[in-house]
Amino acid sequence: MYSSFNTGADDPAAAAVSVSSSAVSAAGGAGTAPGGAAEAAADESRLPFRRGIALLDGGCVDNVLQVGFHLSGTVTEPAMQSEPETVCNVAISFDRCKITSVTCSCGNKDIFYCAHVVALSLYRIRKPDQVKLHLPISETLFQMNRDQLQKFVQYLITVHHTEVLPTAQKLADEILSQNSEINQVHGAPDPTAGASTDDENCWHLDEEQVQEQVKIFLSQGGYHGSGKQLNLLFAKVREMLKMRDSNGARMLTLITEQFMADPRLALWRQQGTAMTDKYRQLWDELDSSNRPHRTVFTRAIEACDLHWQDSHLQHIISSNLYTNYCYHDDTENSLFDSHGWPLWHEHVPTACARVDALRSHGYPREALRLAIAIVNTLRRQQQKQLEMFRAQKKELLHKGVTSITNLEGWVGHPLDPIGTLFSSLMEACRVDDESFHGFSDFMENMGQCKSLEYQHLPAHKFLEEGESYLTLAVEVALIGLGQQRIMPDGLYAQEKVCRNEEQLISKLQEIELDDTLVKIFRKQAVFLLEAGPYSGLGEVIHRESVPMHTFAKYLFTSLLPHDAELAYKTALRAMRLLVLESTAPSGDMSRPHHIASVVPNRYPRWFTLSHIESQQCELASTMLTAAKGDVRRLETVLESIQKNIHSSSHIFKLAQDAFKIATLMDSLPDITLLKVSLELGLQVMRMTLSTLNWRRREMVRWLVTCATEVGVYALDSIMQNWFTLFTPTEATSIVATTVMSNSTIVRLHLDCHQQEKLAGSARTLALQCAMKDPQNCALSALTLCEKDHIAFETAYQIVLDAATTGMSYSQLFTIARYMEHRGYPMRAYKLATLAMTHLNLSYNQDTHPAINDVLWACALSHSLGKNELAAIIPLVVKSVKCATVLSDILRRCTLTTPGIVGLHGRRNSGKLMSLDKAPLRQLLDATIGAYINTTHSRLTHISPRHYSEFIEFLSKARETFLMAHDGHIQFTQFIDNLKQIYKGKKKLMMLVRERFG
């Protein structure tokens, strides 16, 4: 900046002291933006400010010098564990109470001033007497003669010659040149002199850093929290506007320009591809195809048409006493209510945008007055709507339809109207009068962060007696949350609805409810239940209106200690999820161009449906917990769950919740709640019986546990009605088996009569399941029926009947082994022969899992006697083509006499069976034939690496051949045939000759 020696800037000392507001604002210490994310961002921005205070208090600021409007000093960063002590050189220029530029050698780049700049600024503010003031350097130079000036310049160059000598020589050359540009300008620049009074002045804004921060945001992935830096930027814009800093508008322009300059926008437009998640988070207004063409700037453009010249609006925001007692209640758009208080009938989001604008631009009193007028208008409209509905109630309920007057809900709306009203009113509850003007006694409270509580401050002139800003804030939040509104299109718009609702409720939960606020809750709950189509809790709602589960859970817990009947009535009404109901009322949409967007069964377009269902489940769980010990309430809540919850996994969760609450260790089990738990569990069983559910096994086991807690009659009941609840496999392998276990008998302290009754039910179940699904249930049925001869025989007959058609060899072998283990060898043999008829082992299946079963079956037959062995060998020959398996069976059969250990353990004196006679001759021939066939099969595609393995295989074959009386001749002929047929495989045949001749 250039200035004459006699500058017109304001007093340097005064400017330095007044710079407090800009220092604090720049460090994020002033104001907070509304909305959870922005407030978090503002908190983040205060970190450098707090660090700066710590450095100041730690005595880390030194060498402070003020020359005119230029402040300099050093700030020492103490040594940390891994970092040495560092000294930062800081320089600050200021002009008319604003910091205009900063430099710091720490190198930290951000849109916020670093902690070192904050520390130096606050040092100047807190300790003005310790800072020696010097006139601007141009004034000092003006007092020097030529010799002094030459000495001054030469000493300056000597001290800093390595840095400034080239610059000094360049300037000297230009000054000595008559026609140089430097000689065309009167005077010379003075960085310490400040600006002229007519020069524009504004706080220092590092535009490059703003652009860099937005670039970083756009380049990051879509992970949670990645938008924090951008929220910081928007929070800073609001702060600047609040402090009347002209940089606010400039910064918003920079952010917008950076978005528009992103090369991906043009790329997406050319390719017709969808935006990335990052952009759509901000621009989700473009998701809807049913509205007239809108762009991301549509709302901003519409806002340009707003004006503030309306006389009624001007009166509202300019005076606390604007009343008019000439009131006519018959006019819907009356400017005043029955008290003569002003009303403001503008479209609610637009009206609230005005409030936000007033707050953002530093007009908190005006914002508060308009907010109160809007809330009073909403309350009056609420009452009018209730009266209107009562007049038409009979007709509307008879039709079973409803109309939506709010297609664009206030909660989740991009302009956040309810959040704006709530924040404005809450701000008035927790700040003193002075803070409406900026900082309250900054000098005294420096560095002290007081925890502010919300209070019922004295009523505004336009409030009812006993009302306060706090009651008004709570009431408007309840009005907005309870509003019936259509679920918007698009994932992000729907997520915003959920998120904003939860943020608003979270803020409400910070407020401690007193008697005054409880009255507000009661009043709004009653209204919402009676208000028809204007309420999300009305008797008839549109099938696509936003569910009230989250809000109702908050209402329920808030009202429960004060009015339990109203709390339950509200929560039970909110349990509905009509979008999943096939017969839900469709309703009309009251705005023609929206009708096309609402088509039947659109619920898959509810991207947040899983979250909504989990919230519905949470509401139900909260009611179940509260209703413990109250039979009537529990029955009502159970009916509501069964009617309204459509997800089996959520009903199962509720069943488990109820079970846990009913069986808490510190008290006796609550039998009513246990029965509710069991009833919900039974519903889950019925819902998931014919559908795939990966938790099904867990659910079945849990149900048996629950029924056990309820008592023996519950167990008996689920077994008698098993076919409506379980698959046959589940009923036998889990249910009946668990019921009949010793642990269950001990847990229930059953007497003999009760045990027998349960066992009878279990046997009946087992036989029914075996008939229905013998493959999977026969073994379990036999096990369960062991102690009852008739039932056991029936189960065995079921197995035999199913063996020829519906059972596999593995199932039959398993049951056969069980029979042998239980002492029924002949029955085991019968089942084993049936299993063999289903088996087919090819030549190369020498590792098949059924081989052990075949060997076992042959061993069983052998132990029973010659006739049994003779009967099974033809089955083996027919079913098994694998040479090694057949030779193994053959060898075992030749080692002992059939039936050598009889049924009663007596040894028989039988003879070894001859290999030349049936049945072993048939087995020997089959084994030799299998070796021959296998040999040819293997030689068809043999590779050299398998030659040695093949030779070993032939050696085993020879052992089997030699068991026949003419085996030597057969084997020789076999080898000769091989040498002739496969003479082309010279190396292999050479190996054959070496081993076998």
Q: What would the pLDDT profile of 772-791 be if each residue is shown by its tens digit?
A: 999 999 999 999 999 999 99
Please name the residues in contact with 840: beta carbons below 8 A apart, sequence gap of 6 or more: 879, 881
Q: Which of 168-182, 200-214, 350-364, 615-629 has the lowest mean pLDDT?
A: 200-214
- For residue 591, pLDDT beyond 50: no
Q: 402-415 burial, b if ≥16 CB within 10 A, otherwise e?
A: bebebbbbbbbbbb
Cα atoms in the Cβ-side hemisphere of radius 13 Å centred on 72:
11
How far is it, in rounded angstroms, from Cα 652 to Cα 640? 15
Q: Which has the higher per-residue pLDDT, 241 or 735? A: 735
How far is it, in rounded angstroms, from Cα 862 to Cα 407? 84
- Determine the 3-state secondary structure of 784 from DSSP: helix
Amino acid (one-letter) located at 850 = A
Contact 780, 733 (CB under 8 A): yes
Of 653, 668, 666, which Cα lies nearest the Cα of 699?
Answer: 653
Alpha carbon distances (Å) from 71 to 116, 122, 720: 13, 12, 91
Alpha carbon distances (Å) from 308 to 228, 313, 709: 34, 7, 70
Q: In sequence order, what are the beta bridge partners of 486?
A: 545
Q: What would the pLDDT profile of 876-930 be if each residue is shown by its tens digit?
A: 999 999 999 999 999 998 888 888 554 444 444 567 777 878 889 999 999 999 9
How far is it, in rounded angstroms, from Cα 122 to Cα 53? 8
Q: Where are the beta strands (DSSP E) in 113-227?
A: 133-134
What pLDDT is attached to residue 595?
34
Here the tokens at position 79 are 């040594």
- For residue 256, pLDDT beyond 90: no
Contact 103, 109 (CB under 8 A): no
Total length of the chain: 997
Work out the angle at residue 882's Cα, subtended by the Cα atoms of residues 880 and 888, and round it to the nearest 5 degrees: 90
Here the tokens at position 17 are 């002291």
Alpha carbon distances (Å) from 307 to 294, 310, 311, 876: 22, 7, 11, 99
Cα atoms in the Cβ-side hemisphere of radius 13 Å centred on 889:
37
Provide the pLDDT confidence category of residue 460 given band limits of 50, 70 and 90: low
- For residue 590, pLDDT beyond 70: no
Here the tokens at position 619 are 């509401």
Contact 669, 633 (CB under 8 A): no
How far is it, in rounded angstroms, from Cα 730 to Cα 728? 6
Cα atoms in the Cβ-side hemisphere of radius 13 Å centred on 563:
16
Can you tell me which residue has the tokens 């002739």? 980
Contact 284, 493 (CB under 8 A): yes
How far is it, in rounded angstroms, from Cα 411 to Cα 418? 6
Alpha carbon distances (Å) from 791 to 781, 785, 788, 818: 9, 6, 5, 17
Contact 891, 884 (CB under 8 A): no
Percent of the chain at pLDDT exceeding 70: 83
CB atoms within 10 A of CB 200: 7
Q: In sequence order, what are the beta bridge partners of 403?
A: 588
Q: Where are the beta strands (DSSP E) in 61-156?
A: 61-67, 70-77, 86-95, 98-104, 133-134
Here the tokens at position 130 are 């310790």
Cα atoms in the Cβ-side hemisphere of radius 13 Å centred on 904:
2
Mean pLDDT of 571-595: 68
**What region does 196 belong to: left with phi over 0, alpha with psi -120 to 50, or beta?**
beta
Contact 721, 686 (CB under 8 A): no
What pLDDT is attached to residue 443?
33
What pLDDT is attached to residue 278?
54
Q: Which has the higher per-residue pLDDT, 185 or 877? A: 877
Please name the residues in contact with 623: beta carbons below 8 A apart, sequence gap of 6 or more: 556, 568, 571, 572, 633, 637, 640
Torsion angle of C-alpha atoms 175, 180, 182, 187, degrees rounded to 10: 70
Q: What would the pLDDT profile of 926-964 be if each residue is shown by its tens digit?
A: 999 999 999 999 998 889 999 999 999 999 999 999 998
Describe the strand order of the beta sheet including 70-77 as a list of residue ranges.
98-104, 86-95, 70-77, 61-67, 133-134
Q: Which of 30-34, 271-275, 865-869, 928-932 has the lowest mean pLDDT?
A: 30-34
Q: How far is Cα of residue 12 from the mean position of the Cα atoms in its chain?
A: 55
Provide the pLDDT confidence category of residue 533 given band limits of 50, 70 and 90: confident
Work out the burial of residue 432: count CB atoms within 10 Å of its CB; fewer than 13 is exposed, 13-18 middle, 19 or more buried: exposed
DSSP class of residue 109 equals -
How far is it, in rounded angstroms, from Cα 358 to Cα 704? 64
Q: Which has the higher per-residue pLDDT, 490 or 803? A: 803
Q: What would the pLDDT profile of 304-340 be if each residue is shown by its tens digit?
A: 888 999 999 999 999 877 877 665 655 677 899 888 8
Please name the residues in contact with 44: beta carbons below 8 A apart, sequence gap of 6 or more: 28, 228, 232
Please name the residues in contact with 96: beta carbons below 8 A apart, sequence gap of 6 or more: 9, 10, 15, 194, 195, 201
- The reported pTM is 0.75
What pLDDT is attached to residue 272?
64
Contact 7, 194 (CB under 8 A): yes
Mean confidence (pLDDT) of the chain: 84
Amino acid (one-letter) located at 452 = L
CB atoms within 10 A of CB 720: 11
User: Rg for the chain (alpha carbons), in Å?
Assistant: 45
In terms of average pLDDT, the best of 69-78, 602-611, 912-921 is 69-78
How far is it, in rounded angstroms, from Cα 626 to Cα 557? 9
Of 317, 301, 382, 388, which Cα lies nearest the Cα of 351?
Answer: 317
Cα atoms in the Cβ-side hemisphere of radius 13 Å centred on 175:
9
Mean pLDDT of 267-293: 60
Omega before 191 within 30 of 0, i.e. cis: no
Of 350, 352, 361, which Cα lies nearest the Cα of 248?
Answer: 361
Q: 539-564 burial, b if ≥16 CB within 10 A, otherwise e?
A: bbbbbbbbbbbbbbbbbbebbbeebe
Here the tokens at position 18 are 């007044």
